[in-house]
Structure 1
Amino acid sequence: MTEQLLRSSFGTAAAAYAEHRPDYARAAVRWALEPAPGLRVLDLGAGTGKLSATLVALGADVVSVEPDPAMLTELRRALPSVRALAGSAEAIPLPDASVDAVLAGNALHWFDMAAAGPEMARVLTPGGVLAGLWNIMDDRIDWVAALEGVSGSAAIGPRDTLRSWRTATRDMLVPRTGSSAPFGSTEQVEFPHGQRRSADSLVATLATRAGMLVMPQAERAATLGRIRAFLASRPETALGEFTLPMLTGVLRTRRR
């Protein structure tokens, strides 16, 4: 299964992504922006605008860039006042030194950093912030850890849980061979978060993961069936709504 196939899968479920994916903990977004010299922010790989909406609520001047037409349509529908452009991390449609921060919500791992690193450095002002944010499930909670085992890596992958996200993301902003992106050292911090879910809506959320979207239909149905049966068997999730224990993890660096 190629990275390109996974990366391009989200447009097939853009409406479901917009409905079911969580927003980001505001404390995490504030921390990501904390050292930025201003509030001109690029949301890169913006998807349907989950992170853009939080940035707007915090008073940032946001421009959103997204390569998938279906995802971009959902973003423009949800946030008509935000400047939303077609483009990619490897070819950002903005001038040099035009933003104070580049943030990527659940997207940085899809970038080709050999090309995207220099591009992100190009559009940032000196001292500007580059940060990746991920919503991760808190698998210190017993039922969440058990759900991970039932779901499999296609639904809950190595960047999706607290125990694994630091290892899976810590080197993403280290310049690759041939890259001249002038970034400094990185920091990783997690912030408490949560999402109100029912069993049905949590199943729908997990169904929007890239690995699930590219599964053969029969295998996908079987996996979602196992997840549904597990949630029905647990007292924490069987009756009505519950709060899915989450955190927003942030990986941050600065342009020199």
Structure 2
Amino acid sequence: MSSDLHAASFGSAAEAYQRGRPPYPAEAVAWAVPPRARRVLDLGAGTGKLTRALLDAGFDVDAVEPSPQMRDQLAVSAGQASIFEGTGESVPLPDASVDAVVCAQAWHWVDPARAVPEMARVLRPGGTLSLIWNVRDHTEPWVAALDDVLHRHTRDEIDTAPRIGGPFGDPERAEFRWRHTLDRAELQDMVASRSYVILLSEPDRRALLDSILDLLDRHGLGERFELPYVTRCTRARLR
């Protein structure tokens, strides 16, 4: 299936995305956005998981998201942001209008050949482009088992340390380990909000979600538990 089809699928699962996807640790946000920044573009803002953290950190935020269903959730969770329809290849903001661009869990959906010049256009001189991914920590046995279940349906691996290239300088990398507390229903929502799960047939999707509960039982996890994450970050400064 095409990446466009996968990217477009999220709108139908916007509520599950909001319930099940993890937030982003404050340490990662502080690393990604320079303290001198005032206005920040949250690109591919989704339901506002990162947008809310940027607002809480005191930034003025322009949130750009292509999906109308996601924007509806975004307006509820981060209504103080200025919300726009747009993509990484076409951002509806003026030239040199933001101090930083942050793209969380979305850069793998863009065409870098078109998106990198667009980020350079909207950034002020010396501005920062930061890319963030929350990745489940597979070193914990039950999380490795969870990934084995999910990989029955996809083996695609996301490049969480991508090259950015000119006109940006050399990228810097950082990782932040943390744990997200959630319950069984929220874990099922996290799984259900993944693009390849959204596109499964209803019987296959139901069987997959039921198998998640079986996995939790086998590993002795109760109604609430912690899911370990590694938040991987890349940042580069506009020359």
Change (3 A) 1:27 1:39: same
Q: Which residue of 2 aligns with 1:171?
A: 162
Q: Distance in 2 between matches of 1:41 and 1:3?
A: 27
> Which structure 2 segments of 5+ residues have no match?
none
Q: Which residue of 1 aligns with 2:90?
A: 91
Q: Which residue of 2 aligns with 1:33?
A: 33
DSSP-derived class of the 1:128 partner: strand
Q: Distance in 2 between matches of 1:72 and 1:200?
A: 23
Q: Distance in 1 between matches of 2:3 and 2:114?
A: 16
Task: Please list, as runs of the form range in 1=range in 2, the aligned pairs for 1:156-235 lying within 5 A after superposition.
Answer: 158-159=157-158, 168-174=159-165, 181-235=166-220
Q: Which residue of 1 aligns with 2:225?
A: 242
- Tell me how far 1:37 sits from its aligned partner: 4.5
Q: Distance in 1 between matches of 2:108 and 2:14?
A: 19
DSSP-derived class of the 2:4 partner: helix
Superposition CA RMSD, Å: 1.6
Does the Cα contact within 8 Å between 1:132 and 1:252 map onto a contact in 2? yes
Q: Which residue of 1 aligns with 2:8?
A: 8
TM-score (structure 1 length as normaliser): 0.88
Amino acid at match of 2:179: G
Q: Distance in 1 between matches of 2:28 and 2:8?
A: 27
DSSP-derived class of the 2:55 partner: helix
- Tell me how far 1:126 sits from its aligned partner: 1.3
| Percentage identity across paired residues of the two chains | 41
Does the Cα contact within 8 Å between 2:163 and 2:171 map onto a contact in 1? no
Q: Distance in 2 between matches of 1:172 and 1:206?
A: 28
Does the Cα contact within 8 Å between 1:90 and 1:116 map onto a contact in 2? yes
> Which structure 1 segments of 5+ residues have no match?
160-167, 175-180
Q: Deviation string for 1:150-209 (max 9, x for gaps)?
A: 2216478524xxxxxxxx2323424xxxxxx40111122111222112223212211101
Q: Distance in 1 between matches of 2:150 and 2:217?
A: 14
Amino acid at match of 1:130: L
Query: Which one is further off, 242-251 or 217-226?
Result: 217-226
Q: Deviation string for 1:130-169 (max 9, x for gaps)?
A: 011111111111221122112216478524xxxxxxxx23
Q: Deviation string for 1:61-88 (max 9, x for gaps)?
A: 1110111111011111222221101111
TM-score (structure 2 length as normaliser): 0.94
* Number of corresponding residues: 239
